[in-house]
Structure 1
């Protein structure tokens, strides 16, 4: 059991370390190529930090035949990313996150809610989609994602909601060639660890007598979300609040695309018809947390109970804890076995 835990934690550490350098070199590439600041978090960093979920999901369905791990990882990562908003709120001492972040982020949360709801509908009717080559959600998610990116770009261009750019280069000693080389090396490390992580997660579930749904939603999702954590805290540290928030919301959008890719890669039929109904709990939790974040972005609260975090962040923490408690309760009722 010690070996199983050591292997899992070591792979998670590799993802976290490589994810840090992936984000740093990605930021250099964005700076050197003159990419728009508002797109660094939403597109470049969000896609990069979601690479572990993508690789891990494909590995889970193709190499390990563990669809519950793949779905639990993608949906659990959405919930974990929303929890990270409360972490950003705590470390952003100049003021409440939801009072200072751009209101335009609500457009991202709206599209996330739409895609989560579509996935939830698919999960609620597994028999109806069992004979199809793909889940209907897969056919809807990709065009909705493209539409979301287009609308967000149009909105930001119209409203001129660009994060402030530093006057001087943040990485004066790093060339574009060096950044690209470092980016590829870090991405390779993330891919390698991501391929091995599902096997380690299955060993962990077997050793502990846990379900793959439980391990995928809580442990695997937390491990593959470590790059989001590292990138988000780094962005807050340099004062790029909107970059940090856009990274988290953008990662949730991309996680829905990851589900679609996992579905296309799964050889056993529609992915969402082959997994545990317990994933519906995570979908509902993600919708609840997304709604709370949207309210915060629009209402823009300034109060911080005990000078720690806003009431929105407290709601996010409570929802995450509730999701974990419900999954643990379901784990106990299933006798620590099953999918």
Structure 2
């Protein structure tokens, strides 16, 4: 009975997040027209931020209230991995060719910035665990904020400015479809959908703790697999609908905008956590970060070199992403094969 209750709750939360993701796609298109912003920017910033709220709420909940910081790190890194894997799903449903080869240069910028963010987080993790450099923290009274988190905050701001300036250099033309839509009404609808995402995110933090308790799984794996997939469902549905509507820039921009925000989540959690958060993580998260970097490079290579046709029902790059994602999940669950090859 306990198993039925856990998975029933899991599926209900997933359904709520799917509903919110579908609504966000339409709202994103309206915002793009009314605010005269490109789909790539709307996806990377506004929708990417909104669809990443489950990761934010889950991460704060698991790190602070459940005192499970490794689930937090596993959640955000696993979400980044799954977000890139979503490209494979989009490639299957996109019939006009490989979906990555249909987007413009503005999407490439968000991909590069997400790569920079994950490299910064990986570097901070390395320095904290290797103890080669003792990164100090600032006492905020209620918490200790590491200087590494301050760097992540600053880089996130730089990313948002870069994306905005890149979007302003583009001319946005086209038919006006939503000129009669009130921005105030749209804002209320957006807040309602965001409220659903936040409430469901809080609920999922409790479900994750129950899954960990019943099935006795490793915290990092629970975060990287179960939480990452469910909290990324808004991205799945938003991007699915966006591609079906022909908004490929919005779809891919959302994925990598979400990846940028996910890395900033760690710094936000550091504010609320009592101690320096990076010092609580273990070395198993290196695996996920390395795979995120590899998968992002595969995506960048495809965005830069658009030659070639779709192989079978998906592109060659999507095949590579799928294989690497499965390998990443297996390695996070059981890294013994790495120890046999490279040693402990």
Instruction: Verify same fold: TM over 0.5.
Output: yes
Partner residue, 1:84: 86
Task: State the secondary structure of the residue aligned to 1:2.
Answer: helix
**Is the alpha carbon distance of 1:102 and 1:33 closer, same or farther for their aligned partners in structure 2, counting shifts above 3 Å?**
closer
Determine the C-alpha separation between the residues in 2 that align with 1:135 and 1:168.
47
Partner residue, 2:98: 96
TM-score (ref. length: structure 1): 0.88
2:165 aligned with 1:154: yes
Q: 1:117 aligns with which of 110, 116, 119?
A: 119
Deviation at 1:97, TM superposition (A): 2.0
Mapped contact 1:26–1:183 kept (Cα < 8 A) = no
Deviation at 1:173, TM superposition (A): 7.6
Deviation at 1:196, TM superposition (A): 1.8
**Is the alpha carbon distance of 1:266 and 1:234 closer, same or farther for their aligned partners in structure 2, counting shifts above 3 Å?**
same
Partner residue, 1:243: 250
Partner residue, 2:288: 282
2:322 aligned with 1:322: no
Determine the C-alpha separation between the residues in 2 that align with 1:309 and 1:94.
11
TM-score (ref. length: structure 2): 0.87
- 1:240-294 Cα distance to aligned partner (Å, 9 max, x none): 1111111111111111111110121111x22222123211111000000001000
Mapped contact 1:22–1:182 kept (Cα < 8 A) = no
- 1:33-78 Cα distance to aligned partner (Å, 9 max, x none): 4444442112111111111111111122222111112111111111
Quick check: 193-202 or 132-141, which moved more? Answer: 132-141
Partner residue, 1:13: 15
Determine the C-alpha separation between the residues in 2 that align with 1:182 and 1:86.
30
2:314 aligned with 1:303: no
Determine the C-alpha separation between the residues in 2 that align with 1:137 and 1:89.
36
Determine the C-alpha separation between the residues in 1 that align with 2:91 and 2:45.
22
- 1:271-324 Cα distance to aligned partner (Å, 9 max, x none): 222123211111000000001000110011322222x11111111111110111
Partner residue, 1:337: none
2:223 aligned with 1:216: yes
Determine the C-alpha separation between the residues in 1 that align with 2:252 and 2:24.
18
Determine the C-alpha separation between the residues in 2 that align with 1:277 and 1:157.
41
Partner residue, 1:74: 76
Partner residue, 1:336: none
How many residues are aligned here?
327
**Is the alpha carbon distance of 1:67 and 1:175 closer, same or farther for their aligned partners in structure 2, counting shifts above 3 Å?**
same
Determine the C-alpha separation between the residues in 1 that align with 2:336 and 2:15.
27
Mapped contact 2:41–2:163 kept (Cα < 8 A) = no
**Is the alpha carbon distance of 1:318 and 1:301 closer, same or farther for their aligned partners in structure 2, counting shifts above 3 Å?**
farther
Mapped contact 1:99–1:302 kept (Cα < 8 A) = no
- 1:202-256 Cα distance to aligned partner (Å, 9 max, x none): 1001111101211111110111100001110111011111111111111111111
Quick check: 124-133 or 17-26, which moved more? Answer: 124-133
Mapped contact 1:20–1:230 kept (Cα < 8 A) = yes
Task: State the secondary structure of the residue aligned to 1:305.
Answer: coil
Mapped contact 2:48–2:254 kept (Cα < 8 A) = yes
Partner residue, 1:57: 59
**Is the alpha carbon distance of 1:63 and 1:116 closer, same or farther for their aligned partners in structure 2, counting shifts above 3 Å?**
same
Mapped contact 1:202–1:212 kept (Cα < 8 A) = no
Deviation at 1:168, TM superposition (A): 4.1
**Is the alpha carbon distance of 1:105 and 1:181 closer, same or farther for their aligned partners in structure 2, counting shifts above 3 Å?**
closer
Partner residue, 1:191: 198
RMSD: 2.4
